[in-house]
Structure 1
Amino acid sequence: MHRAKPDPVFGPRIAAPKQSCPGGWDDWRWQYAHRITDPSALSAFARLPENSRAETAQVISRYPCSITPYYLSLARIEDPQDPILKQVVPDRRELEDEQAAAEDPLQEEHHTAVPGLVHRYADRALVLLTNRCAVHCRHCTRKRLWRLGPRDLTREEFRRVLRYLQEHPEIRDVLLSGGDPLVLPDSRLDEILRGIRQIRHVEIIRIGSRVPVVLPQRITPGLCRILERHGPLWLNTQFNHPREITAQAEEACERLLRAGVPVNNQSVLLKGINDDGETLKALCTGLLRIRVRPYYLHQCDPVRGVRHFRTPLDRGLGILAAMQGRVSGLAIPRYMVDLPGRLGKVPLAPQSLMSLDGRRAVLRTPSGEIVEYENPPD
């Protein structure tokens, strides 16, 4: 398995921050402090052509850039179509659909009950703890939040969140997201989890984080002790390409599993990155090997600035249909479309039931054969 490590050329080109972190490459704080965020650094590392640098700077002025050295080290820098680079390097096409798409198509702001808490479903609440991330994924649903500058939920705002949760006993499931909640310090995460755990009707706490993929050094023994203390917890992450399954990512997921935190994967179907059967098959079977469940394959949301990532629905359906019968059912995620407003997620699936007439059903097999099946009487 590939183990990402400092490159002899890449490493020295990272300027030290004002307050250097002693741990170096394997310290998550060092990785976070050395994120590539400005156009000149990005041009040096990603080898952008001279004529595209001004365009890149223009995109960054609207949708800021953030890439950890670790994640950039997974890229094949010489390949402009590299699936790692395409997820994180700003693209002029992000500015092309400025008026054609909504910034908040899921209407999260409309369903914000108190600052930081989105109550879109009756029994679930989404808590946005921060707008900070280790890496800014260019296909992000919440990229509208980046230009606000780094901001974490204040303690007073979190007290209001807790009060709202206490006053709504129908909420049994809380999803902590952002941004990425795992960029917060251990002490703050401990405080947040303790506060939510004291609300008796909240049965499930989920954490949405891409840290195991883009900053696996963050999954420290200390963090895992905190997560274990406040269990049961679930962690949903986002591996989008098999090259992201490195030795470090596997180790991070293994630590979470040993702490009693199941890890589910929610990929996004992305044009030119993972929208072909072989890539998704390699991704999903690779995830199973490290005991991460391929849970969802999301259709890319119709967010402003991501149109160039979106694929036709029939492509996702075709990929999943091709996977059926070729891999274990455990390796096949559910294909999901998140509808605007309060309409929620809708699963899409290849059609296998052709017709149902009394005692006779007609089914299509994964290989395309049409067969009859007896429909039992009621």
Structure 2
Amino acid sequence: MSHTFAANGDTPSGTPTDPPSATLSSTPTGTPAAPPGLVRPEIPEEQWNDWRWHMRKRITDVAKARQWIRLTSDEEKAIAGSAGKYRWSVTPYYASLMDPYDPDCPVRQQAVPALGELLEHTGAEVDPVGDMFYRKTNRVVHKYPDRVIMLITEACPVYCRHCTRKFHTTAVDGTYFEKNEGEDFTEDLRYIAEHPEIRDVLLTGGDPLSYRDGKLEEIVSSLRAIPSVEIIRIGSRFPVLLPQRITDELCAMLARHHPVWLNTHFNHPKEITPESERAVDRLLRHGIPVGNQTVLLRGINDDLETMRTLMTELLRIRVRPYYLYHCDNVTGVSHFMTSVEKGWEIMEGLQGHITGFGVPQYVLTTRLGKIPISQPYHRRTPEGLVLRNYKGEEMLVDDAAYPVAETEGGR
């Protein structure tokens, strides 16, 4: 079986005529069909299910993008303006989730360059979270006492336009590697081994799953050989951007090195598809817990209905909401930022209205670390604690019944 696209290879043909309300449909097998007015390559099912094919066929120019979406003039200007400044690429799978006629599509905004990323914004930095400040080796960033991150690659299947490492992973001349990414890991592994307080290592980048299984296992097994490393985590957006990557072979390999955790990054309900659901299920069946880190993004998920739906859909597919990140003021990303008040509004609408473990922790990432910034549900008074519930109702908990401060000798 093959995808029902016109067989024209990788080059566009014809001028699309766009019905204003057309939406992307799919065949009964889940194969995305070409919407009216767009001409796409014919893709055999075997290739569509092969993550390597998607990586080879990533959309990286206007001609290929036009096979999937009707680009606006602003998008074309942004793509041209990004040349020599920021990389961009989109997997065919992720492109198939885009509304081909709506530039405000939440998937499209995350993947296609926009003019906003070329503007200068007050306070924007290339590294507001302090990766370089806490860097100890070519790859190791040691910010917290018992855990480190290893920035093991610059490569991603899709270069998300809101990436907190936009400069370091997508700037053509910018990188966080002092040495070549291909340098061996001896220095990094030695640092971790010589600091036995490090019990938790997060592999990130870029996206670690961009490596093939063999290379990834070399890294994971080397970490597992360090006695003080208890937990290995992988930060990956592949379950969202290219779920075909989550194969039984990959999961079985990771399961050999338990405990292994995976944190992913769904930002909108539209990204939760049968393919991504199967990818999550495959990880879970191999004993790999899956958490989610959502970024609050203007025009994408900065409304309560979207965020509630996202969190409840994540729970349905057994993904635990972990963080809601306030969008970092990163150079090239600032146009996605909302106000903190908007984040508070959304958190207030989640707390008490959905399952408790479906409510993420709202944080602002700084050089001081991840700072929880949700509004408190209590305040201290001379009489005791005034508690507030999700409805705004309040009650006083008497200090005699529930002392706020420790007293000498205890109660």
Fold match (TM-score > 0.5): yes
SS at match of 1:202: coil
Q: Which amino acid aligns with 2:152?
A: L
**Does residue 1:37 correspond to 2:37, yes or no?**
no
Of the three residues 367, 375, 388, the one matched with 1:350 is: 375
Contact 1:56 1:90 in 2 (8 A): yes
**Does residue 1:137 correspond to 2:160, yes or no?**
yes
Q: 1: distance between equivalents of 2:380 and 2:42?
A: 64
C-alpha distance after superposition, 1:259-285 (max 9, x if no partner)? 111000000000010011110100000
- Range moving further from structure 2, 133-142 or 120-129: 120-129
Q: 1: distance between equivalents of 2:303 and 2:110?
A: 16
C-alpha distance after superposition, 1:258-312 (max 9, x if no partner)? 1111000000000010011110100000000111001110011110011110011
Q: Which amino acid aligns with 2:143?
A: R
> What residue is the counterpart of 1:219 in the other structure?
246
Contact 1:6 1:25 in 2 (8 A): no
Q: Kindly name which structure, 1 or 2, has the bigger radius of gyration based on alpha carbons.
A: 2
Contact 1:31 1:70 in 2 (8 A): yes
Q: 2: distance between equivalents of 1:93 and 1:175?
A: 31
Given the two structures, how large is their TM-score scaled by the length of structure 1?
Answer: 0.91
Q: Which amino acid aligns with 1:207?
A: I
Q: 2: distance between equivalents of 1:207 and 1:52?
A: 32
**Does residue 1:67 correspond to 2:90, yes or no?**
yes
Cα gap change, 1:211/1:366 in structure 2, threshold over 3 Å: closer, same or farther?
A: same
Q: 1: distance between equivalents of 2:285 and 2:370?
A: 31
Of the three residues 49, 52, 56, the one matched with 1:26 is: 49
- Give the drift of 1:14: 4.4
- Runs of 4+ deviating beyond 6 Å: 149-152
Q: 1: distance between equivalents of 2:45 and 2:94?
A: 20
**Does residue 1:191 correspond to 2:218, yes or no?**
yes
- Give the drift of 1:154: 2.4
- Give the drift of 1:129: 1.0
- Give the drift of 1:224: 0.6
> What residue is the counterpart of 1:257 in the other structure?
284
> What residue is the counterpart of 2:182 in the other structure?
154
Q: 1: distance between equivalents of 2:71 and 2:49?
A: 27
SS at match of 2:136: strand
- Give the drift of 1:12: 6.2
Cα gap change, 1:347/1:211 in structure 2, threshold over 3 Å: closer, same or farther?
A: same
Q: Which amino acid aligns with 1:6?
A: P
Q: 1: distance between equivalents of 2:73 and 2:321?
A: 40
Of the three residues 24, 27, 32, the one matched with 1:6 is: 32
Given the two structures, how large is their TM-score scaled by the length of structure 2?
Answer: 0.84
Cα gap change, 1:15/1:102 in structure 2, threshold over 3 Å: closer, same or farther?
A: farther
Q: Which amino acid aligns with 1:316?
A: G
**Does residue 1:361 correspond to 2:377, yes or no?**
no
- Give the drift of 1:142: 0.8
Q: Which has the higher contact order (CA 8 A, sep 6+)?
A: 1
Q: 2: distance between equivalents of 1:55 and 1:43?
A: 15
- Give the drift of 1:43: 4.1
Contact 1:213 1:245 in 2 (8 A): yes
Q: 2: distance between equivalents of 1:249 and 1:52?
A: 27
SS at match of 2:232: strand
Q: 2: distance between equivalents of 1:90 and 1:55?
A: 5
SS at match of 1:266: strand
- Give the drift of 1:155: 5.0
SS at match of 2:84: helix
**Does residue 1:301 correspond to 2:328, yes or no?**
yes
- Range moving further from structure 2, 142-151 or 319-328: 142-151
C-alpha distance after superposition, 1:47-96 (max 9, x if no partner)? 11346523421124311111111111111111111101011110111110
Structure 1 residues not aligned, in runs of 5+: none
Q: 2: distance between equivalents of 1:117 and 1:183?
A: 18
> What residue is the counterpart of 2:394 in the other structure?
370
- Give the drift of 1:44: 4.4
C-alpha distance after superposition, 1:154-199 (max 9, x if no partner)? 252x111111111111211111001000010110011111100000
Q: 2: distance between equivalents of 1:58 and 1:167?
A: 45
**Does residue 1:83 correspond to 2:111, yes or no?**
no
Q: 2: distance between equivalents of 1:51 and 1:279?
A: 26
Q: Percent identity of the aligned residues?
A: 46
Where is the helix percentage greater, Structure 1 or Structure 2?
A: 1
Structure 2 residues not aligned, in runs of 5+: 1-25, 404-410
Q: 1: distance between equivalents of 2:64 and 2:301?
A: 27
Cα gap change, 1:106/1:361 in structure 2, threshold over 3 Å: closer, same or farther?
A: closer
